[in-house]
Structure 1
């Protein structure tokens, strides 16, 4: 008997990790530090919540089906801000709104790949991308990252076959946090265009990039949409995680294909979430700038305090956006270490094995720390607890 689509992949890692908490109690003087998931737990800022309440009360269209590709005003706002922010030309007809960024990825893959096709993905990878490729009958071709956890376009070129349909990148990266240099992304654009395949760039965490100005110049290419598919999420920027609002920026022709996928899955994106995202884009620029500075301070706290662990053999492989990616010094796999940390240190994080194929080395020594919900003081507490461990 053949496997079902869902049986071809693994269990959701974040949900698996949460099960490690079952039956474990945490003393009041050592509460749980949950650094397993890169999603803010705070609600949207009060002005946005007030605006959302008014939308619920006063906008009857917010309770109805809407356009499959999203609210026209929101598509237009994204196009305008991307055009000014990236120094290129993006039209509203090149923007679609999706039910979260994961759906944006799923929709893009549905328009690119058929059964048995291949997508090149840098490793460590974002596990939900791997899961969707598995469930789509698409082979994930792992590309080991090099120095600084940056993928090498030349090594990617060697992996391209006649079944390759895309290369998928995430920058700032999940799980490693690193920001891919503009030159690297440009080289991948040249590579994918030369082979007639798509370049997917997931920029979920773009609003927390440490660099001033545009993180790349891909949209400055007047023909960017013959190759580039960009993904984005409003969840992290405006704390709208539960409202599931993302975006995909691509050619008008590709969005016509994406519309088929979206119409059969969700019909339209969440109407309240779309209006909230639009209100946030128009009114929360200063607030978002402050959120970025806070995340950058937490990133700085990782670097400032990592000496606490470095002297014991820990290494910091990457840091940025919501993530620090580290190696541990213990003589056990991270798959065994991570569950023990819940009981022994009151820490919930994810092992590197969740971001790697089973047959590739490296993940057993790696851990991902997601610092979306711990501040500078929380980083210090986390490192003190890790430094106290001895296995």
Structure 2
């Protein structure tokens, strides 16, 4: 007997990173050419020692670290986010406008659950972050693609032309996953104005904001005194403090919206990880200089990526920033087949553009995402040596 399966779940594609890892099965990598895994954008090293010691201290001596906490997160962490974000963006954010979540993916799911139901529409620029598309598919929400073209920069006027009575939100990710591009402040302001004019939510995911190459605030959305009537901001502590396994993210939105988010969070997880929140708070208070050093290292790797592609015949660099390069390959075969061939012939694992574009997209067939943040400059040089040997 076969048990029932939710049709929306059945229609949702498999997790791309897990799918790509299956391509490694049965493939051996000789010692002189080990696997270069540039498929996933997540730190692979543990947090710095001071943060780990803070986690250990809490685990051993703080009884509250092992109990349920507030559904919307620790008050001290919410206050710290509000204070630091207010200073960084030149706006006014209250602790009541901050919620802590089990990672940024949960932040997206929680806020979207309050905005859109089956049959509603959400605009996503393409190439899109696949987990955003997966959640919308699971909920029966219609994803409306917004092509970004060769610049990978979305256009607010093109987005406005896609709005219908069923549209509920526009989602932007900057620095972008998968494209790497950093959206100009004027672009974000234009989208804010379109969203406000049509009564929509503008969701801005800044998971990679700590690795933005620009100095100062990347936008002034929070300087708008009525920002919480249109803007929803998402963030992840995982990348800045290497807390991926602890799952800590944040939503910044109106207090009224977070009251609805609380329903979702209480039902799904009850509360965020207490230890993860303790680690995030300690990191915010103590690791500013350390994070700046991490940013410098990522920027040096970005420079190595842009230089490498300038010398790699046939390949075209479309975007590069934060953790990612997004590229166009020169071969006739589709990117999903090429990505599997790269595993076998070059010992390189990366994700094809077909995982970031609508089904049947010609752009997706020509594109690949390279998550370079976990590869040092020597590894990046080796990556280009291997790609140079690949032929059609």
For the superposition of Structure 1 and Structure 2, which TM-score range results when normalised by the shorter chain?
A: over 0.9
Find the counterpart in structure 1 of residue 251 from structure 2.
248
Looking at structure 2, the residues matched to 386 and 281 of structure 1 have their Cα atoms a distance apart, in angstroms, of 39
Q: Contact (CA 8 Å) 2:110, 2:261: kept in 1 or not? A: yes
Deviations 1:103-129 (A, max 9, x none): 000001100012200000000000000
In 2, the alpha carbon distance for the partners of 1:10 and 1:314 equals: 28
Once the two structures are superposed, residues 326-355 of structure 1 have per-residue CA deviations (whole angstroms, 9 ceiling, x without a partner) of 011011000100011111000000000000
TM-score, structure 2 as length reference: 0.98
Give, in whole Å, the separation in 2 of the partners of 1:317 and 1:353.
15
Q: Deviations over 1:342-380 (max 9, x none)?
A: 110000000000001113320001000001210111111
Poorly superposed stretches of 4+, deviation over 6 Å: none
Which residue of 36, 51, 55 maps to 1:52?
55
Distance, in Å, in 2 between the alignment partners of 1:259 and 1:4 is: 27
**Counterpart in 2 of 1:228?**
231
Report what 2:27 is aligned to.
24
CA distance in 2 between counterparts of 1:50 and 1:136 reads 40
SS of the aligned residue for 2:204 comes to strand
**Where do residues 157-176 of structure 1 align in structure 2 (5 Å cutoff)?**
157-176=160-179
The residue aligned with 2:131 is 128
1:72-111 to 2 correspondences below 5 Å: 72-111=75-114
Distance in 1 (alpha carbons) for counterparts of 2:118 and 2:368: 33
Count of residues in Structure 1 that have an aligned counterpart in Structure 2: 389
In structure 2, what is the equivalent of residue 317 of structure 1? 318
* Equivalent residue, structure 2, for 1:15: 18
- For the 8 Å contact 1:308–1:387, the answer to whether it is kept is no
What corresponds to 1:384 in structure 2? 385
Kindly report the root-mean-square deviation, in angstroms, between the aligned alpha carbons of the 2 structures: 0.9
* Partner residue, 1:327: 328
Partner of 1:360: 361
For residue 286 of structure 1, report the CA deviation from its aligned partner.
0.5
Aligned 8 A contact 1:146 1:152 in 2: no
**Whole-Å separation in 2 of the counterparts to 1:178 and 1:307:** 17
2:205 aligns to what? 202
2:193 corresponds to: 190
For 2:117 and 2:50, locate their aligned partners in 1 and report how far apart those are by CA, in whole Å. 45
8 A contact 1:316–1:326 mirrored in 2: yes
Question: Given the alignment of the two structures, is residue 149 of structure 1 paired with residue 149 of structure 2, yes or no?
Answer: no
Structure 2 residues without counterparts, runs of 5 or longer: none
Question: Does the Cα contact within 8 Å between 1:308 and 1:384 map onto a contact in 2?
Answer: no
1:38 alignment counterpart: 41
Q: Deviations over 1:135-163 (max 9, x none)?
A: 01100000000342100000001000000
> 1:115: which partner in 2?
118
d(CA) in 1 for partners of 2:367, 2:384: 15
For the structure 1 residues 335 and 285, does the alpha-carbon distance in structure 2 shift closer, same or farther, using more than 3 Å as the test? same
Distance 1:20 1:252 in 2: 45
Alpha-carbon separation, structure 2, partners of 1:214 and 1:147? 26
Aligned residues of 2:354 and 2:361 also touching (Cα < 8 A): no
Q: Quick one: distance in 1 between partners of 2:149 and 2:339?
A: 25
Q: Mean alpha-carbon deviation: is it higher for 158-167 or for 371-380?
A: 371-380
The equivalent residue for 2:268 is 265
Q: State the secondary structure of the residue aligned to 2:362.
A: coil
TM-score by length of 1: 0.98
Residue by residue over 1:270-322, the C-alpha shift from the partner in whole angstroms, topping out at 9 and shown as x without a partner, is 1100000000000000000000000000001111222331xx21000000000
Asked whether the 8 Å contact 1:229–1:248 carries over to 2, the reply is yes
Q: What residue is the counterpart of 2:346 in the other structure? A: 345
Query: How far apart are the structure 2 equivalents of 1:150 and 1:48?
Result: 36
